Amino acid sequence: MSYDYVIKQYLSAIKAKEGNIKIQECKGEELFYQFKDFVNVETIQDCNRPFAKVIKDNRIYFTYYGIPIVNELWPFLNSLIRISNNVVNLDEKELELAKKIKGNVKLFVTPDCTKCPITAEFLYQVAQINENVELEIYDVTEYEEEKEKYRVLSVPKIVFNSRVEIPGGFPSIVILKMMLRALQE
C-alpha cells in the first residue's frame, strides 16, 4: 500500500515553500522526493547512512538518524506542519517546563514501535519551542552502534545530555521533570 496520497495531504498543510523549511537528507530519496513541492530538500551525497535534518531560518530543529517510516513518519510530518505554522500542542505546564530544558536529547526508536510516536511528537515540540534543546532521534535498526553505546534494550528510550536515561513511555510532565532534575545535579 502506498502512502503517497496521504503524505501529500499532510505536506499540503505546510505553509508556503518560501517558509524557509529545509530538509537536508541522505539516502532518503525514496521518501523525500515527495516533499520537494512543499519544502526545500537538499540531498547530501557524501554520507554513509540515512539521516534527515530539519532546518528553518538557519536553525536546526532536529536530526532524524534513519528514515522516518511506518509509525515514525506521522510524527515527523506533524512536526514539519507545526514548525511551518509556528504551532505547538503542549499545555501550559508543559510549555513552562520545556522552556527550561537545556542540552542534548537523544530519542531511540524503531519504525514498528507503537509508543515511540507519542514520545517523538512530544520531543519534536520541545525542540521547536526551545532552541537550547538539540534533539536527535535514532532509528536503532539503522544505527546499531548508538544502540550499543547507550544500552538501548527497549524503545522508546531517551538519553539526556549523554548521561541520564529516561524511559520514553513516561508522561511528558514526568520526562520534563526528570530532565530538569538532571540539570540541577
Is the pLDDT reported for residue 2 higher than 80? no
In this prediction, residue 118 carries a pLDDT of: 97
Burial status of residue 81 (CB atoms within 10 A of its CB: 0-12, 13-18, 19 or more): middle
| Domain-wise residue ranges, the chain | 4-184
In this prediction, residue 7 carries a pLDDT of: 87
Domain 4-184 has CATH 3.10.20.30: no
Beta strands in the chain (DSSP E): 21-26, 40-43, 51-56, 59-65, 103-109, 133-139, 157-160, 164-167
pLDDT in tens, 47-104: 999 999 999 999 999 999 999 999 999 999 999 999 999 999 999 999 999 999 999 9
Using an 8 Å Cβ cutoff, are 107 and 152 in contact?
Answer: no
